[in-house]
A and B are shown apart, each in its own frame.
Chain A
Amino acid sequence: MYSLYVNNQHGTLVYQKHFSEEIKLNSNEEIRLASMLHGISTISEKINVYSLYEKKTNIFQSLEKKGIETIEGDGFKIQCYDTLTGIKIFIVHKDDLNIEMNTYLKRVYELYSDIILKNPFYDIDMPIRSAVFNEQIEKLFSNIS
């Protein structure tokens, strides 16, 4: 397990959590890379070959998120979870980890809605600095190496 990230609907990084000492990126680099993933994911919807054959008769079709779900590289894998509201939760882990990661990302989404959004002093789209949220995330991923 390397890192967990949360992007807001505008592609700005609002939360990052490292589980490994191997990560050497600084804050600005992470913000830039997270924005890049947002852009790449949006573009990937447009260049999807199969979408040429779909009939977009229904305007509600455009509300469905169809961006990048998985990126695989040498030694690592990125798994993304997109919500209908545009939040993107993604995780970077070793490629030999055989776990249904979407279950964990969905659980992160629940924690986000319970701990962050119910705090009346959290401004939406601002960086998340919550000790309770950090604690719960650590607990959630404590069993994964």
Chain B
Amino acid sequence: MSKDKYQKQGDAIFAKLEKVNSELFSFTYGALVSQLLKDLELVDEVNEQLEKMGFNIGTRLIEEFLAKSDISFCEDFEETVNVIAKVAFKMFLGISGTVTCVNKESNIFSIIFDNNPLSDFVELPKSLSSLNYCSLLCGVIKGALEQIRIKVNCYFVKDMLKGDDYYELYIQLNEVMKEEILNDEES
């Protein structure tokens, strides 16, 4: 599989889209997280709410991705993850990730990237060590893929905000939902 192909595709789309200053985006996201921490008592609830918000964003973002890229459907899950890491990340965040297969049987792939515009300027206080600051991103991926009938688990396993050297995201394929016409006898 030619991975360079998606890199080029991502760069081409990135070049023609309108852009905004990433600091404005970082600050807006930071304000969102801060507000959630004030509104909700527990850090676990904040994580959950960020992922839910991301899911809702993802269900709409997938349409823009499909409309503006020339990506048609992917042949397998590895290709799907490559498209996410090299085209979608480039298109919406200006970054590019590296994809490796973690576990073939369980269909787990990892995306590694070393900078994240969402968390520029952020230093997590010790009292918030269980906060998954960027879990909105996991929700976006889940929401987007669910719109094209692919159910996944998505979570960070390495996070620079928690002292790691890079970000690593795991995506695990749960299910591809089939669209079936019921037989007349069944309905």
Interface of A toward B, CB cutoff 8 Å = 42-43, 46, 58-60, 62-65, 83-85, 87, 106, 109-110, 112-114, 117-118, 124
Contacts and interface: CB of A to CB of B under 8 A. Distances in A.
Contacts of B64: 110, 113-114, 117-118
A84 B181 contact: no
Interface of B: 59-60, 62-64, 66-68, 72-77, 80, 147-150, 176, 178-179, 181
Contact of A62 (B59, B147, B179, B181): B179
Contact of B63 (A58, A60, A62, A113): A113
A8 to B, nearest CB: 11
A117 B147 CA distance: 13
Contact of B68 (A59, A65, A110): A110
A37 to B, nearest CB: 16
Contact of A85 (B63, B68, B77): B63
A87 B181 contact: no
A112 B181 contact: no
A20 B141 CA distance: 42
28 contacts: A42-B181, A58-B75, A58-B76, A60-B76, A60-B77, A60-B80, A60-B176, A62-B176, A62-B178, A62-B179, A63-B148, A84-B66, A84-B72, A84-B148, A85-B148, A106-B67, A109-B66, A110-B64, A110-B67, A112-B63, A113-B64, A113-B67, A113-B68, A114-B67, A117-B60, A117-B63, A118-B64, A124-B60
Given A42-B181, A63-B73, A83 B176 contact: no
A59 B76 CA distance: 8
B59 A60 contact: no
A56 to B, nearest CB: 10
A60 B149 CA distance: 10
A117 B74 CA distance: 23
